[in-house]
């Protein structure tokens, strides 16, 4: 940056289907910025449509990084994402390029801006064991299991979403130490010294629910079924994150004759709406110092025609 100006990054978070991709592209086209994925599902290959990853037209409209770069047979951690992000930051700094981080994974944004604990690698068998401990449990049940084993981490995470509970339990099983014991030893945040613009897109609830339904119907018409067929053909462990992406179990059940197409759509839309509600709660509770924006009312540099799902 010329004249000692601080390096700049724009952070765009929000629930699924809130218009994050469109806003990121609009901003990048105005500044030549590099868009970096901050969504834990959009890192996986094969599931282009089901994870709402930017399509070919969108990818060509601006530079996009860390989208679909992980094989679906892998378990990709926040630590691995930060290592990949660090390379993107270094490249952007050499090119004097603004960064735009966009996605719906709150933990990624927290790690990026607040630092991340250096936690030893966890063997997949411990992840599978942790998943077994909470299988079939609702939010309250997951919270109770975690609170009994690591009450401090349970208190910190608030809403006991499956991914974070499994992470905490697997670390405890693998190391004998609770995740909370590591979280006081965060490495410095990667964006220390950056001037940050922090946005959370939060459309009105009824609008978001409608967008979610419309988008999933469009996904089914534009290749989602073929993606699940391709994924199933790989014969992967059902406990892998990519295998549990919303839409995969529902479409798999449809392909196996256990659900009709209409039932698969209904269940996937319901699951997506529930996920969006959890995301919204997370962002409102944890990102109180971010700028909440309704993209359909006030979206910087986002025209009406750009407000894609």
Binding site: residue ranges? 14-21
SS3 state at 201: strand
Q: Across the strands, what pairs with 10?
A: 100, 197
Q: What are phi and psi of 209, to 5 degrees?
A: -60, -40
- According to DSSP, the residues that pair with 200 across neighbouring strands are 13, 292
Annotated binding residues for substrate, written as ranges, equal 16-21
Annotated binding site for ATP: 14-21
H or E element at residue 36:
strand 34-37
- Choose among 93, 89, 112, 122: nearest CA to 39: 112
Structure tokens at 303: 């025209």
Q: Is 94 exposed, middle or buried (0-12, 13-18, 19+ CB in 10 A)?
A: exposed
Output the six-digit token pair for 285: 């509770």
In DSSP terms, 65 is beta-bridged to 36
Is residue 143 a contact partner of residue 133, using CB atoms and an 8 Å limit? no
d(CA 123, CA 22): 38
Q: Which helix (H) or strand (E) holds 256?
A: none
CB-facing half-sphere around the CA of 42: CA atoms within 13 A: 22
């Amino acid at each position: 940056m010329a004249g000692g100006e601080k390096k700049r990054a724009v952070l765009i978070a929000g629930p699924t289907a809130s218009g994050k991709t469109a806003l990121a592209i609009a901003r990048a086209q105005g500044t030549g910025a590099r868009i970096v994925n901050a969504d834990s599902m959009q890192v996986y290959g094969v599931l282009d449509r089901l994870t709402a990853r930017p399509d070919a037209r969108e990818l060509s409209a601006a530079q996009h990084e860390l989208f679909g770069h992980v094989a679906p047979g892998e378990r990709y951690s926040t630590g691995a994402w930060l290592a990949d992000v660090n390379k993107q930051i270094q490249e952007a700094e050499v090119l004097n390029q603004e960064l735009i981080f966009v996605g719906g994974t709150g933990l990624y944004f927290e790690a990026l801006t607040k630092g991340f604990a250096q936690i030893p690698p966890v063997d997949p068998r411990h992840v599978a064991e942790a998943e077994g401990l909470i299988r079939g449990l609702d939010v309250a049940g997951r919270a109770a299991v975690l609170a009994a084993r690591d009450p401090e981490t349970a208190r910190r995470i608030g809403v006991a979403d499956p991914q974070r509970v499994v992470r905490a339990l697997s670390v405890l099983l693998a190391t004998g130490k609770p995740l909370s014991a590591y979280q006081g030893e965060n490495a410095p945040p990667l964006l220390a010294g950056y001037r940050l613009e922090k946005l959370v897109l939060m459309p009105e609830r009824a609008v978001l629910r409608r967008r979610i339904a419309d988008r999933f119907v469009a996904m089914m018409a534009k290749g989602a079924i073929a993606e699940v067929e391709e994924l199933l053909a790989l014969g992967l462990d059902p406990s892998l994150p990519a295998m549990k992406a919303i839409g995969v179990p529902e479409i798999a059940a449809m392909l196996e004759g256990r659900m009709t197409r209409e039932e698969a759509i209904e269940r996937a839309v319901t699951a997506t709406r529930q996920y969006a509600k959890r995301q919204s709660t997370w962002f409102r509770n944890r990102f109180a110092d971010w700028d909440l924006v309704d993209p359909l009312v006030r979206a910087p540099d986002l025209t009406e025609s750009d407000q894609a799902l």
